[in-house]
Every structure is written in structure tokens, then in C-alpha cells.
Amino acid sequence: MIIYAPHIHDFSIVHGPVIRQIGYHVRDYFVNQWERFSQYPWGVLAHSTHLRGIGEYKDGVETPRVQVTLATGISEEECRAVNLGYRSPETIHLEEWANREAEGILLVPHAGEILYRLK
């Protein structure tokens, strides 16, 4: 999954420092190392797992179901430091991603605006 949002320059204004400490991981990463992470704000841990989605953490190996890549104003170094992929937003041309569902590619324009829309 690629999150294309070149206007974003920080992981979170409020929780950014904690995110930089813990990174983004699947739920089991935290649950299976609870003694290491229990002192962190649980809401930030939840945010981390919501972005990464379902996956496993066994024998010290994290296996997410999906790879999350940011194409934002956040640097490659910062993305990798929090366990996310990076792609330069300049390499993405949205029109090239449209109407490719048959190939397994889904473009959701303005996804952030519709994610929490109430009817």
C-alpha cells in the first residue's frame, strides 16, 4: 500500500516523538514484547498497529500482511527508521494508477477525506 500525500511532513504533530521511538508495527510485535512497550501511551501503540495492519511476530521476526510505503514529504531516512517503506512522491503520477483494478491496483482518490465520512 502506498500512501501518497506529498503535503504531509510529519508522522504526527502530537505523537511524533513517541512514534519515532516505537516505530510502526503489527499488533503482535507489541503484545509479544509487552514488558518493553507497556509504558508507552496505548493510543499511540494502537495508532502504530492500525497503520501496519494484521501480521505476526514470532521468534523475533515480524511478518506484516501488507507493506506500507509513504510517498510524502517525510524523508526516506525517517520512513525507514520507523519501519515504513519510502517512495519519492515525484515518481508517482496518479493518472497512471487509475482504472487498474483488474491488475490488482486500486487507486482511492482523497482516501483520507472519505475514511471517516459520516452518512
pLDDT digits (tens, 9 = 90+) for 18-34: 999 999 999 999 999 99
3-class secondary-structure state, position 7: coil
Q: What is the pLDDT of residues 38-47, one digit of tens each?
A: 999 999 999 9
How much is the pLDDT for 53?
83
Q: What is the pTM of this model?
A: 0.87
Contacting residues for 98 by C-beta, under 8 A, at least 6 apart = 107
Cell matching residue 7: 503535503
Domains and their CATH numbers in the chain: 2-114 (3.90.226.30)
Which of 38-59 are b and which e, b meaning 16 or more Cβ less than 10 Å from the residue's Cβ? eebeeebbebbbebbeebebee
Neighbours of 29 (CB within 10 A): 25
